Amino acid sequence: MIGVNKIDKKYSLALHGGAGAVAGRDYAVVEDHLRGLIEASQANLAAGASALDVVEYAVAEMESSGLYVAGRGSAPNTAGYVELDASIMDGATREAGAVAAIVGVVSPIRVARRIMQVTPHVMLAGNGALAFAREQGFEEVSDPDTYYVLPVGVYESEIHEQKHGTVGAVALDLSGGFAAATSTGGTFGKLAGRVGDSPMIGAGTWADDDIAISCTGTGEHIIRAGGAISIACKVKAGATPEVAIDEMLAEVKRLGGDGGIIAVTRDGNTVMTYNSEGMKRASVSSSEAVTVATFGA
Ligand code: ASP
């Protein structure tokens, strides 16, 4: 019996840094960061950390790095300020938490998890989300003019090159639990109050007993294409995760958008697929070495 359990023990993990990567740009610094982060996260998973703790940790690290369009690396909306979306889901309990259009917190994903833990709600938005974060003592951005990497002045030139970005993490832990987390500054040129797929459970983020999924890409199209839950339902009905993901991304494309998806599956595999120009990504599992890439297959 002990032998069987040992054979069953496996973990897997995938990270994305957004599907807004632009061909020809050098992402060496981002890839180095992803490598260090996935190695640290892998060590936690291998030591028995829960998938939920690991995805929260990885996303919070990406938020604070300033290297991605999430947390510190987010761009302002057309009204000139940064609004953030994030969500997290625990597959085993099906508990979930999310923040939408929150302003001024350092780590939206940590606020999302706290909403999941201490409120009866799944999502808090705008001023209510900020009031909750304050009451819970979460760190706030002291000076938005110096904290965010992309000041308002950079916005116009950036918009032509990189239209969107997001970070996400999905994990299967040694106990067989799945979790997914996603955090974003949203799309460039978004209106104040715009909310994309990333904080919507079932759209940008999903985890159940068979799969954990985090999406990136043009959020409006991901929502309209059925999002992560459409993939999970197809997998439950017998489709392979690869086919279900390809079909959802094809629908995003058909509707006029693009994007990418990372998933970990019950058999311990990681899937990382995109139909944009590139997707910053990394994966590892108990049977596969670390991979890090932005372009190519
Ligand atoms: N999906 C995100 C949003 O629409 C953006 C992205 O993933 O690049 O807010």
Residue 225: its H or E element: none
Question: pTM value?
Answer: 0.95
Tell me, using a 6 A CB cutoff, whether residue 87 lines ligand 1. no
Tell me, using a 6 A CB cutoff, whether residue 164 lines ligand 1. yes
Q: 147-168 in b/e burial notation, b at 16+ Cβ within 10 A?
A: ebbbeeeebeeeeeebbbbbbb
Å from CA of 45 to ligand 1 middle: 27
Å from CA of 175 to ligand 1 middle: 31
Å from CA of 67 to ligand 1 middle: 15
Ligand 1 atom nearest to 165, measured from its CA = 8
Å from CA of 61 to ligand 1 middle: 18
Tell me, using a 6 A CB cutoff, whether residue 260 lines ligand 1. no
Do 124 and 132 form a contact (C-beta atoms < 8 A)? Answer: yes
Tell me, using a 6 A CB cutoff, whether residue 83 lines ligand 1. no
Query: Where do the structural domains in the chain lie, given as residue ranges?
Result: 12-23+30-285
Tell me, using a 6 A CB cutoff, whether residue 187 lines ligand 1. yes
Of 119, 166, 240, 265, the active-site residue reads: 166
Please say if 166 is a catalytic residue. Answer: yes
pLDDT of 189 reads 86
Do 263 and 14 form a contact (C-beta atoms < 8 A)? Answer: yes
Please name the CATH architecture into which domain 12-23+30-285 falls. 4-Layer Sandwich (3.60)
pLDDT of 7 reads 45
- Mutate-to-test residue for ligand 1 from 99, 163, 197, 281, highest number of ligand atoms within 8 A of CB: 197
pLDDT of 163 reads 57
CA distances (Å), origin 224, targets 80, 188, 219, 257, 294: 27, 19, 8, 10, 26
Tell me, using a 6 A CB cutoff, whether residue 216 lines ligand 1. yes
pLDDT of 256 reads 97
Question: For every one of its 297 residues, what pLDDT tens digit does the chain have, with 9 covering 90 and above?
Answer: 443 444 468 999 999 999 988 888 899 999 999 999 999 999 999 999 999 999 999 999 999 999 999 999 998 899 999 999 999 999 999 999 999 999 999 999 999 999 999 999 999 999 999 999 999 999 999 999 899 987 654 544 454 445 567 999 999 999 999 999 999 999 988 999 999 999 999 999 999 999 999 999 999 999 999 999 999 999 999 999 999 999 999 999 999 999 999 999 999 999 999 999 999 999 999 999 999 999 998
DSSP assignment string, 127-184:
HHHHHHHHHTT--B-S-HHHHSSS-GGGHHHHHTT--B--EEEEEE-TTS-EEEEEEE
Tell me, using a 6 A CB cutoff, whether residue 257 lines ligand 1. no
pLDDT of 154 reads 52
Length of the chain: 297
**Pairwise CA distance, residues 168 & 223, whole Å:** 17
Protein residue closest via CA to atom 7 of ligand 1: 216
